[in-house]
C-alpha cells in the first residue's frame, strides 16, 4: 500500500501537533504503523491522500450512521453556511433538534446542547451533584465518558475508598470523588452504596459498553442499576454518546426498557459536526443556568451548522425500516466474520448490539473488562493492517467499537468478509 504522502504529512504533523494527531487513538499507536491521512469520504468509503480506497467501519467513531457526505446533509450544510456560521444567539433549529431529542428519548423532557460528548458527560455529573447535593460518582472500569478530570480515574488500591488518576494533571483530590466499579458486576456497585451511604450523587454507565470494545450489558444489569440508584437516592446517568440513535431511535433506554435520570448524547446527533447534549426530567434540568444554580455554558453550543447536520441526520434516520436495515447489515457482517475466524481456526468472539460491533481476538464469552483484557492485541494489530492493506478500515484498536452505516450494502459486507478470510489466511 502506497503511503508516501501520509508518511510525509505525519512527519510534518508531529512537528506541530502532539503525536501528530488531535486525538490520541488516531495515532495508530495501538496497532503500530502510519495512520493514513484521509482526503475524502463518500457513502461507506474513504480515500486517503495517496489515493488508497477503504470500506470504512470507523464512521468517524460513530457519528456517520448515514455514511460520508450524505447528499441531504451536504445540501443542508451548504444552505446553512450561506446564512452564517454562528451567532451566539438562539436560532430556530436548536429548538427543533432539542424537540426531536425529547420526542425520541422517554426520559428526556428538556435537553441542553453542548459541543462534545466530554462536555455532555462532565455537565451531567455536575448536574447529578447539584441535584442530589452529594459529591461521589460511580463509573465503570473500561467505560469512557470523555476526558473531564474526574472521569480519568481507575480503581484505587483500596478499591472501596476512592479512584486514582489515569492521567497526569488530574489532582488526587478530584479522582477521590470517583469510585470505580466493574461493568456487569452488580455486587461491585452495591458495595459502594454500602460503603458510602447517602454520599453518591450518581452512577454513570455506557448502557452498551463501546470503549473496551463492544460489551453488552448482562441480562438485568441495567434494570438492577436502575433499582439500586433509585433505592439510594442517586441519579442513573446513561452515557448514550455512542448508543444514542445508533442502536435504536430511542437509544439503549428504549432498546432495553430502562429509564435513566440523565442521558448524555453526542456523535450521531451532530451528524459529523461538533454536538453533544445532556437531558432529563424537567425537575432535574431546572437546576441548569440560567434557570437554576448549576452553571454550564458554551460559545458554540447549538451552533447552527452543527445543529443542521444533526437535524438532517436524525430526519433521515426517521425513515421507515432504518434500524431493521442497520440490524440486517451488521448481523450479516458479524455472521460472516465469525465464519471467517472459525475457518481460519482463530479464537475470536464477535460482540454486536445493533450496528456497533467488535471482533475480539479472544475466546468467548467476552462479557467483562477482565475477559476483554485477555484479547490478543498483537494479533488484532496484525489483522488490522492485513485488512487495511486490502482496503478495509477498522477501528485502530482492539478496545474500540466498529460501526456499520446505512451507506453500506450487502455487496460491501460480503466483500469485507471475503477480504477478512484472505487477511486471516495471510496471517497463518
- Check residue 379 for interaction with ligand KE4 (CB under 6 A): no
Considering only CA atoms, which of 87, 134, 136, 94 is closest in space to residue 114? 94
E strand map for 354-417:
356-360, 392-393, 402-403
Give the residue, chosen from 41, 142, 210, 396, that forms a contact with ligand KE4 under the rule CB under 6 A.
Answer: 210
Q: For ligand KE4, which stretch binds (CB under 6 A), given 111-119, 124-132, 181-189, 289-297? A: 111-119
**CA–CA distance, 207 with 141 (Å, rounded to integer):** 13
- Check residue 296 for interaction with ligand KE4 (CB under 6 A): no
**What element of type H or E holds 242?**
none
Give me the residue whose beta carbon is nearest to ligand KE4.
117
What is the x/- site pattern for ligand KE4, positions 142-181, by CB under 6 A?
Answer: --xxx-----------------------------------
Give the residue, chosen from 3, 178, 211, 355, that forms a contact with ligand KE4 under the rule CB under 6 A.
Answer: 211
Cell 436524525 -> residue: 314
Residues 218-247 that bind ligand KE4 (CB under 6 A): 239, 241-242
- Check residue 121 for interaction with ligand KE4 (CB under 6 A): yes
CA distances from 37 to 12, 274, 289 (A): 12, 20, 41
Q: Residue count at the site for ligand KE4 (CB under 6 A)?
A: 19
Catalytic residues, by residue number, are 144, 239, 267
User: Positive or negative, the Cα torsion across 131, 132, 133, 136?
Assistant: negative
Strand partners of residue 136: 200
Give the residue, chosen from 15, 23, 157, 299, that forms a contact with ligand KE4 under the rule CB under 6 A.
Answer: 23
* Cβ closest to ligand KE4, residue 121 vs residue 386: 121
* Cβ closest to ligand KE4, residue 118 vs residue 232: 118
- Check residue 56 for interaction with ligand KE4 (CB under 6 A): no
- Check residue 206 for interaction with ligand KE4 (CB under 6 A): yes
Question: Using an 8 Å Cβ cutoff, are 306 and 115 in contact?
Answer: yes
**End-to-end CA, the chain:** 20
* Cβ closest to ligand KE4, residue 3 vs residue 118: 118
**CA–CA distance, 323 with 331 (Å, rounded to integer):** 12
CA distances from 112 to 266, 281, 287, 302, 304 (A): 12, 12, 12, 9, 14
| Pairing status of strand 262-265 against strand 235-239 | parallel
Q: For ligand KE4, which stretch binds (CB under 6 A), given 115-123, 185-193, 225-233, 312-320? A: 115-123
3-38 burial by CB neighbour count: b if 16+ within 10 A, else e? beebeebbeebeeeeeebbeeebebbebbebbbbbb
Q: How far is the CB of 312 from ligand KE4 (least distance, A)?
A: 19
Residues 355-374 that bind ligand KE4 (CB under 6 A): none
* Cβ closest to ligand KE4, residue 35 vs residue 163: 35
**CA–CA distance, 79 with 66 (Å, rounded to integer):** 19
* Cβ closest to ligand KE4, residue 210 vs residue 217: 210
- Check residue 118 for interaction with ligand KE4 (CB under 6 A): yes
Q: How far is the CB of 1 from ligand KE4 (least distance, A)?
A: 23
- Check residue 117 for interaction with ligand KE4 (CB under 6 A): yes
What is the x/- site pattern for ligand KE4, positions 301-330, by CB under 6 A?
Answer: ------------------------------
Q: For ligand KE4, which stretch binds (CB under 6 A), given 81-89, 206-214, 325-333, 412-420? A: 206-214
**What element of type H or E holds 396?**
none
Q: How far is the CB of 243 from ligand KE4 (least distance, A)?
A: 8
- Check residue 396 for interaction with ligand KE4 (CB under 6 A): no
Residue 282, all three cell numbers = 424537567
Considering only CA atoms, which of 261, 265, 275, 231 is closest in space to residue 129? 261
Site residues (CB under 6 A) for ligand KE4? 23, 25, 61, 116-118, 121, 144-146, 206, 210-211, 239, 241-242, 266, 276, 400
Amino acid at each position: 500500500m502506497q503511503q508516501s504522502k501520509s508518511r510525509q504529512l505525519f512527519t510534518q504533523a508531529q512537528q506541530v501537533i502532539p503525536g501528530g494527531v488531535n486525538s490520541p487513538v488516531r495515532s495508530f499507536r495501538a496497532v503500530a504503523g502510519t495512520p493514513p491521512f484521509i482526503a475524502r469520504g463518500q457513502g461507506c468509503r474513504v480515500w486517503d491522500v495517496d489515493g488508497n480506497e477503504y470500506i470504512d467501519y470507523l464512521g468517524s467513531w460513530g457519528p456517520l450512521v448515514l455514511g460520508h457526505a450524505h447528499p441531504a446533509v451536504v445540501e443542508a450544510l451548504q444552505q446553512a453556511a450561506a446564512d452564517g456560521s454562528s451567532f451566539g444567539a438562539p436560532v430556530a433549529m436548536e429548538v427543533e433538534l432539542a424537540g426531536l431529542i425529547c420526542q425520541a428519548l422517554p426520559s428526556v423532557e428538556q435537553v441542553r446542547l453542548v459541543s462534545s460528548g466530554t462536555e455532555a458527560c462532565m455537565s451531567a455529573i455536575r448536574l447529578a451533584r447539584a441535584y442530589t447535593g452529594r459529591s461521589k460518582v460511580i463509573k465503570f472500569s473500561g467505560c469512557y465518558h470523555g476526558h473531564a478530570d474526574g472521569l480519568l480515574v481507575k480503581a484505587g488500591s483500596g478499591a472501596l475508598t476512592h479512584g486514582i488518576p489515569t492521567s497526569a494533571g488530574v489532582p488526587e483530590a478530584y479522582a477521590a470523588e470517583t469510585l470505580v466499579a466493574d461493568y456487569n458486576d452488580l455486587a461491585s456497585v452495591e458495595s459502594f452504596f454500602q460503603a458510602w451511604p447517602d454520599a453518591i450523587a450518581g452512577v454513570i454507565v455506557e448502557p452498551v459498553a463501546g470503549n473496551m470494545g463492544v460489551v453488552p450489558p448482562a441480562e438485568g444489569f441495567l434494570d438492577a442499576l436502575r433499582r439500586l440508584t433509585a433505592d439510594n437516592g442517586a441519579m442513573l446517568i446513561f452515557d448514550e454518546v455512542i448508543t444514542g440513535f445508533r442502536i435504536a431511535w430511542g437509544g439503549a433506554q428504549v432498546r432495553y426498557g430502562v429509564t435513566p435520570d440523565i442521558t448524555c448524547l453526542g456523535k450521531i446527533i451532530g451528524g459529523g459536526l461538533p454536538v453533544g447534549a445532556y437531558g432529563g426530567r424537567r425537575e432535574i434540568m431546572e437546576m441548569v443556568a440560567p434557570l437554576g444554580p448549576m452553571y454550564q455554558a458554551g460559545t458554540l453550543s447549538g451552533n447552527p451548522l452543527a445543529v443542521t447536520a444533526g437535524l438532517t441526520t436524525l430526519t433521515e434516520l426517521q425513515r421507515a425500516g432504518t434500524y431493521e436495515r442497520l440490524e440486517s447489515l451488521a448481523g450479516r457482517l458479524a455472521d460472516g466474520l465469525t465464519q471467517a475466524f472459525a475457518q481460519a481456526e482463530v479464537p475470536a468472539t464477535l460482540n454486536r448490539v445493533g450496528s456497533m460491533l467488535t471482533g475480539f481476538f479472544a475466546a468467548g464469552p467476552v462479557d467483562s473488562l477482565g475477559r476483554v483484557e485477555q484479547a490478543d492485541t498483537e494479533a488484532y494489530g496484525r489483522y488490522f493492517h492485513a485488512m487495511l492493506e486490502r482496503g478495509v478500515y477498522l477501528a485502530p484498536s482492539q478496545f474500540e467499537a466498529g460501526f456499520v452505516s446505512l451507506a453500506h450494502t450487502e455487496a460491501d459486507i460480503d466483500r469485507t468478509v471475503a477480504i477478512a478470510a484472505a487477511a486471516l489466511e495471510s496471517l497463518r
